[in-house]
Chain A
């Protein structure tokens, strides 16, 4: 009976759900070593599941970037994803590292023509706590943020990402 009293006192118990939300990235998108980064504007208001649960959103339980990564030209390297709130236009890898928050990575890929399918399990481990905090704030806010994909500094390669999808599982009150 003590448990039942505690259960009631917590308020949120038995009223939460883990809801999957996915956001399709441009297909394909590339990270070109010539300029060292790519930029993707995200508007979660276009995702019905997110929009429907925005007012109930309490946490992000899981996050992943899945897709098929192919090094189409050049030596091996890594991919890192950064995030900024709102729509931003950072113009260099230096500005991104200084002005954005690391969200995910590094995901490694071998020299061309190496290819790697990033699974949910593989990808979830590369999610950073700081990036998660920014993402949660944006998901709770206007739902607009900018992702920057960055390659390996000083490495000239072209990495193409096919069927890139952002997956996040939101903890929502029901």
Chain B
């Protein structure tokens, strides 16, 4: 079911190409990633690329690729510090954004994707990732926009999940736009 949902979101992103898209952009982002309730994983960085495709005035579908590098977790065990290498996450998926405002845009978003969890000396785990959050965007010059986002990402890890709180800053460039059909 999750593969179907991911494919559906990608299909939604491509739909305007056939129906007369309002705009398509490319963007990059980076920021901090903080593991939530994970004793064995430390704060790290998140980097990624996204392709915002505006479908109708309020709705944008945004395929993305993201790479999270977890920091080492230094745990106090029996009076000493025991480090454990952090958990890395590679993933792709798509978000749906509901955009409000004109100059300064506020947008809640949610998405679904597939991510691979990697850590030194452990087998990789690939599973569905869910994201949701809130973003703020503004355009300092035509075609260029800057975005600040806060999001929570959750990934299945066996019978449990791992969660991250991400704070990112990104830049998007509008490469194509057409009038509203």
Contacts and interface: CB of A to CB of B under 8 A. Distances in A.
Interface of A: 1-4, 6-7, 10, 12-20, 22, 24, 58-59, 61-62, 66, 119-122, 124-125, 163, 165, 167, 169, 171-174
Contacts of A6: 1-2, 5, 112, 128, 130
A57 to B, nearest CB: 9
Interface string B8-34: 110000000000000000000000000
A16 B121 contact: no
B154 A14 contact: yes
A171 B110 contact: no
7 contacts: A7-B130, A7-B154, A12-B161, A13-B130, A20-B40, A61-B158, A119-B83
Nearest to B98: A1
B2 A20 contact: no
B55 to A, nearest CB: 13
Interface in B44-92: 75, 77-78, 80, 82-85
Given A13-B161, A20-B40, A124-B121, A66 B77 contact: yes
Given A1-B96, A124-B121, 10 more contacts: A1-B110, A3-B5, A12-B159, A14-B154, A18-B160, A19-B39, A61-B157, A167-B75, A167-B82, A172-B160
Contact of B132 (A7, A119, A167, A173): A7
A58 B130 CA distance: 20
Nearest to B123: A129
A66 B82 contact: yes
Contact of A16 (B85, B96, B160): B160
Contacts of B132: 3-4, 7
Interface of B: 1-2, 5, 8-9, 37-41, 75, 77-78, 80, 82-85, 96, 110-112, 120-122, 128, 130-132, 152, 154, 156-163
Nearest to A163: B78
A22 B156 CA distance: 24
A12 B120 CA distance: 26
A18 B78 contact: no
A13 to B, nearest CB: 5
Given A20-B39, A124-B122, A2 B158 contact: no
Contacts of B111: 3
Contacts of B159: 12, 58-59, 171
A61 B162 CA distance: 10
Nearest to A49: B39
A122 B9 contact: no
B112 A171 contact: no
A73 B163 CA distance: 47
B58 to A, nearest CB: 12
A10 B159 CA distance: 11
